């Protein structure tokens, strides 16, 4: 194919070169015959370059026919007709030459590629290079360690059904003094050792009845509840609050004495001794009577300076 393109294009160029001087001679013998032969060869070459080409995009050369010119059509001179046909030939030759050069370059590249492949020297593409260089991954065996047994989860803080039933079993007083009923219910919960429920109930009472006669009792009992629960720091805050809020209150002596006990449990000996000494000085009657046992126990557990 490539050799055909080269011979045909060379033949066309040579033929046009030979035919050019003839344009100056209007009556040279055989000029018409040579022009028709040239047009036929260009047309044949065009069918080879554009096989099956559509006439709308690749118009074929129409050779002159022997048909007579219709009546009334002005005749043209032989030179003018020859120049028109020559211009058409040059246009077609230019298109054919460009197509031939394009096909020639494409064929050259294909031949070079084919020769390199046959010689085993074809350069792989980027993807092929990666595929050749990168070794196939070896199968990896993953050894999964046996899962460790999780530590048992802590029991939820929510009360169990059994505990809730026990709390409901604690009766709530029903008297003409609703405030006293609220406090008494908190005392009963504390006495039954339901400390979280007792604390909640006593705080509810203090919120609803802040001026009730049982307020000193409720604050002191809150401290006692936290102390029984093993939280001396929270207990100390309630004992101190109750004593400072009403030093003459019904449970002020109790709060001062148990404040010393909370400080002893916190290992704050200095404050514990101060609270115990003040209790013995301000409330000698309670120290020798109702609260004597607690007073002696707390005082005996401390090494206060004389």
Residue 193 belongs to a domain with what CATH number? 1.25.40.10
| CA gap 100, 2 in Å, rounded | 8
Same domain, residue pair 90 and 203 = no
Question: CA 24, 29, 35, 38 torsion: positive or negative?
Answer: negative
When divided into structural domains, the chain yields a total of: 2
Angle between helices 232-245 and 252-265 (to 10 degrees): 150
Whether 223 maps to a domain, the answer reads: yes
Are 205 and 291 members of one domain? yes
In a domain, 123, yes or no: no
Domain assignment of residue 140, yes or no: no
Structure confidence at residue 78 (pLDDT): 63
- Structural domain boundaries, residue 38: 1-51+81-115
Higher pLDDT, 11 or 88: 88
Confirm whether 61 is domain-assigned: no
67-105 pLDDT tens trace: 444 444 445 566 666 667 777 777 766 677 777 777 777
Q: What is the pLDDT of residue 99?
A: 73
Domain contains 45: yes
Max alpha carbon distance in the chain (Å)? 162
Residue with tokens 């609220």: 182
Instruction: Determine, yes or no, domain membership for 154.
Output: no
At 219, is the pLDDT very low, low, confident or very high (cuts 50, 70, 90)?
very high
Do 104 and 176 reside in the same domain of the chain?
no
Q: What is the 8-class DSSP label of residue 21?
A: G
C-alpha distances (whole Å) from 74 to each of 14, 69, 70, 71, 82 are 34, 9, 9, 8, 16
Q: At what angle do helices 215-228 and 195-208 cross, to 10 degrees?
A: 160
Look at residue 12 and tell me whether its pLDDT is greater than 60: no
Same domain? 296 vs 175: yes
Coil, helix or strand at residue 221: helix
Q: Are residues 180 and 99 in the same domain?
A: no
Tell me: do 102 and 192 sit in the same domain.
Answer: no
111 with 175, same domain? no
For residue 94, give the nearest of 11, 3, 12 by alpha carbon. Answer: 12
Q: Does this model's pTM top 0.85?
A: no
Residue 135 covered by a domain: no
Does 209 share its domain with 278?
Answer: yes
**In terms of domains, do 107 and 215 share one?**
no
Of 70, 95, 115, which marks where a domain is finished?
115
Q: Are residues 98 and 215 in the same domain?
A: no
Q: Has residue 136 been placed in a domain?
A: no
| Interval 104-115: pLDDT, tens | 777 888 888 877
Q: If you average pLDDT over every residue of the chain, what do you get?
A: 76
């Amino acid at each position: 194919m490539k050799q055909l393109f080269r011979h045909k294009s060379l033949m066309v160029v040579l033929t046009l070169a030979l035919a050019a001087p003839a344009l100056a001679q209007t009556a040279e013998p055989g000029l018409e015959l040579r022009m028709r032969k040239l047009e036929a060869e260009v047309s044949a070459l065009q069918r080879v370059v554009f096989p099956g080409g559509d006439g709308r995009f690749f118009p074929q050369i129409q050779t002159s026919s022997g048909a007579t010119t219709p009546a009334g059509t002005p005749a043209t001179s032989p030179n003018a007709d020859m120049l028109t046909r020559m211009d058409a030939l040059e246009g077609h030759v230019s298109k054919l030459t460009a197509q031939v050069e394009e096909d020639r370059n494409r064929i050259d590249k294909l031949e070079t590629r084919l020769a390199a492949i046959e010689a085993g020297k074809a350069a792989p593409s980027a993807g092929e290079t990666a595929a050749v260089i990168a070794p196939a991954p070896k199968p990896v065996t993953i050894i999964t360690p046996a899962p460790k047994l999780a530590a048992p989860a802590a029991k939820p803080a929510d009360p169990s059904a059994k505990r809730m039933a026990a709390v409901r079993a604690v009766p709530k007083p029903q008297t003409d003094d609703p405030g006293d009923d609220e406090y008494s219910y908190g005392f009963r919960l504390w006495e039954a050792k339901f400390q979280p429920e007792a604390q909640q109930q006593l705080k509810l009472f203090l919120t609803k009845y802040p001026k009730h006669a049982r307020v000193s009792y409720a604050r002191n009992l809150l401290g006692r509840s936290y102390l029984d629960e093993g939280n001396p720091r929270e207990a100390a805050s309630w004992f101190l609050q109750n004593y400072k809020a009403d030093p003459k209150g019904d449970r002020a002596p109790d709060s001062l004495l148990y404040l010393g006990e909370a400080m002893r449990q916190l290992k704050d000996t200095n404050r514990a001794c101060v609270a115990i000494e003040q209790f013995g000085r301000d409330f000698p009657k309670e120290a020798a009577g109702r609260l004597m046992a607690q007073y002696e126990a707390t005082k005996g557990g401390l090494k206060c300076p004389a």
